[in-house]
Structure 1
């Protein structure tokens, strides 16, 4: 499914072995030296298991960015040579560990769903209860999959996308196969999945107390809110919106807007660091490089920013300010709330589609730029979700409404960026509007709003 298993008592750990990093006590007992009865394949499997466990421990302690191969081999009690015989680098080891944990949990969820007797609600509850229980009992492993994978660059984002795609397929199949349910359009299932990921990631970050059956029950409630017998009408409705957006994109490409004149030095630096972060590894960027590419003297850079990170955070704030200016629409706290929601979402997503660098920054680069950038991005999604919902005419039918909407929004942006279809974000405004409206006015009423407004958009 847009965030730790137990460590041996330090007093009982063996002394660092040859090949382990000085000052880092291994958490696993090393295989004996000399002749033994283990085949080569068994030795390799034993070493890989220890390395995977050490990666979980290291990432839980230091985060992906600060984790080093030295730290991993020190905790695993293996030599540097043994590590590099099996993994090319830290990233490959991290991704293999992600695959192991995520694959095991997805398999367990699928097995639980199939083995549970009852209707869709009972099966989802069994699956979600197992997921939250595992996240609570193995919080370090959950942290690696739910929180740290998104900080591991494009490869980590892709792995997370693949895992959530599998979950989307499982959920879509559940809606399709259950007699009491109806199939939902793919982007809506994707948004529901993104909302669930955002909720459990935040719960994992907050600590074990939130990972209880109560959370599982709320996750089921959130998921089933979007079911309606009228769901069959949605595909036709949403397809019309997609066709409109495709025509708009074609016209925009045929008649591009004049380029904006270059901004002041500060603005050029902000735009340039976003461009460079998308082209290169963020941690490899330097202040002189940013200044040079922006055509700004390094002395001028240092007059406004202390370093690269301060410049990036300012650029992220620039994006936030522009998106929040769109989301802070006064009609969102008026009697026209449902109509305002779909209009504002259309403007937000179209703006990001027209500024793909901003969408990519939110979906990916910000998560590789350090903890403060990650927090700022998640805060931005929460702020947008709050602005979209604070004027709702009724109380939310799920306690997870705002969290779920924030997660759905971020996940949708991330998926469009990862698939290279960020320019089509505007076409998904109907789907996301449905996800925002339903928790407050119900599925049928939400569909009525979208159906009433669609002729105006098509005209």
Structure 2
């Protein structure tokens, strides 16, 4: 298959140098990840000199942002036309099909928009935020224009964006983007599962979907505190203890440095300084920065899943189990900001393997939705795509908070996230009642605990001696 540059080069019109650089960035980034593409490779791919590169762009990130905007237009342009030109009742199907067909036709553009852009610098963050803000505003405008007798679609627009991104990214990674158009009906069934009565207030984006009282539980953190530095010289400690201590220090230091500097700017020198180990010690454990990053990304995975599973099975019924599981997940994420930032944000800057692992981590949580398909008769026929969409929706919201450094208040989102998780299976209206009930029970327990603590503190002390 010829590249876009090769196809365009056959035209009689001479390609502009700026356009060729943009297209080279798209094609090379889609293959290797934008952080691993050098300016020399971009110039070679575009057939221009480095002098020409700097005449067109200040640096590589400026070119990456330009490539992103070009790709966003290719992906969202057809969808935008459907939003404005289609019959109101047909708009969701037309818009989703238009976007999926655009990605199937141009998977490189899809990968830039839905995968690579998440690993960009601050200018890319701004460009991506602007693009998705406009996309979400158009969707919100469509929802507001719905007739008064139409069902109310009660789901956050950010959740819809996250579901789409997760589904698209998975198919792009598997090179099965040609299957996307066939998923339109299944995607619409998931979306329709959040429908409520006409004229109903959207609960999922109201203050009622926020947790007013955040209960605290003694949840062990998946990442221990930085181990104490080993004493110098001969200390007689077991070799396994020495290796474990050094390795743990390096992994935690990698997370801390990448959260502060970003993966691209992080250096091995910074990591060993934070870990308080010698540089040769780093290379005894890891071949390079990327391997240390990948190990840090994987480090808490099994612990997190084990803790979530334990919490899940402590609930009385499936909705309560989802509440407990998500509660513990949010607590673990908030308790470990550095490792969470690495796993949720910086992973998109560390290359295809880190991205693959991040997507698999998200997908692993679909196991907790399986019981939902048995919750009631109507949920048995839902497509399994619902699980992928829900996982993508939840992690999108969490990832946005991680990106903006708002993990400390993540627990307040628990009611909203539980609603997103259970509504397709219970029905949206019943999901609201269930979540409100769990909120009330938690608030009552917290209040009773506080009263008990106050009563205990006021109890007289009797001296029998």
TM-score, normalising length from structure 2? 0.79
For 1:420, the equivalent position in structure 2 comes to 405
Asked if residue 379 in structure 1 is aligned to residue 360 in structure 2, the reply is yes
- Post-superposition offset of 1:405: 2.0
Determine the C-alpha separation between the residues in 2 that align with 1:283 and 1:29.
40
Find the partner of 1:318 among 299, 307, 318: 299
8 Å contact kept, 1:366–1:374: yes
Asked if residue 61 in structure 1 is aligned to residue 42 in structure 2, the reply is no
Determine the C-alpha separation between the residues in 2 that align with 1:72 and 1:9.
15
Determine the C-alpha separation between the residues in 1 that align with 2:381 and 2:255.
37
Aligned residue for 2:299, secondary structure, equals helix
For 1:276, the equivalent position in structure 2 comes to 257
8 Å contact kept, 1:198–1:403: yes
For 1:81, the equivalent position in structure 2 comes to 51
Aligned residue for 1:244, secondary structure, equals coil
For 2:323, the equivalent position in structure 1 comes to 342
Bigger shift: residues 110-119 or 208-217: 208-217
Asked if residue 455 in structure 1 is aligned to residue 440 in structure 2, the reply is yes
For 2:337, the equivalent position in structure 1 comes to 356
Find the partner of 1:114 among 80, 84, 89: 84
Q: From the superposition, tell whether residues 46 and 297 of structure 1 become closer, same or farther in structure 2 (CA, over 3 Å).
A: closer
Q: From the superposition, tell whether residues 62 and 294 of structure 1 become closer, same or farther in structure 2 (CA, over 3 Å).
A: closer
Determine the C-alpha separation between the residues in 1 that align with 2:113 and 2:226.
43
Asked if residue 168 in structure 1 is aligned to residue 136 in structure 2, the reply is yes
8 Å contact kept, 1:332–1:391: no
What are the equivalent positions in structure 2 for 1:382-421 lying under 5 Å apart?
382-386=363-367, 388-392=368-372, 393-394=374-375, 395=380, 397-421=382-406
Q: From the superposition, tell whether residues 204 and 5 of structure 1 become closer, same or farther in structure 2 (CA, over 3 Å).
A: farther
Q: Deviations over 1:60-82 (max 9, x none)?
A: 33331222222222232333222
- Post-superposition offset of 1:239: 3.5
Determine the C-alpha separation between the residues in 2 that align with 1:236 and 1:302.
49
- Post-superposition offset of 1:217: 1.9
What are the equivalent positions in structure 2 for 1:235-246 lying under 5 Å apart?
238-239=207-208, 241-245=210-214
What are the equivalent positions in structure 2 for 1:68-217 lying under 5 Å apart?
68-119=38-89, 122-179=90-147, 180-182=150-152, 184=154, 188-208=156-176, 210-217=178-185
Determine the C-alpha separation between the residues in 2 that align with 1:172 and 1:58.
35
Bigger shift: residues 91-100 or 63-72: 63-72
- Post-superposition offset of 1:154: 4.7
Determine the C-alpha separation between the residues in 2 that align with 1:29 and 1:154.
38
**Count of paired positions:** 414
* Root mean square deviation, CA, Å: 3.1
Q: Deviations over 1:266-314 (max 9, x none)?
A: 3222211100111224245444542232122345444443443332222
- Post-superposition offset of 1:155: 4.1
8 Å contact kept, 2:203–2:209: no
Determine the C-alpha separation between the residues in 2 that align with 1:335 and 1:303.
48
Q: Deviations over 1:11-63 (max 9, x none)?
A: x97xxxxxxxxxxxxx88895xxxxxxxxxxxxx9322222222222223333
- Post-superposition offset of 1:134: 0.8
Q: Deviations over 1:110-153 (max 9, x none)?
A: 2211211141xx21110111111111111222222222212334
Determine the C-alpha separation between the residues in 2 that align with 1:428 and 1:75.
45
Determine the C-alpha separation between the residues in 1 that align with 2:426 and 2:405.
33
Unpaired segments ≥5 residues, structure 1: 14-26, 32-44, 250-258
Unpaired segments ≥5 residues, structure 2: 217-223, 229-244, 445-465
Q: From the superposition, tell whether residues 373 and 60 of structure 1 become closer, same or farther in structure 2 (CA, over 3 Å).
A: closer
8 Å contact kept, 1:176–1:183: no
- Post-superposition offset of 1:90: 1.5
Aligned residue for 2:395, secondary structure, equals helix
For 2:189, the equivalent position in structure 1 comes to 221
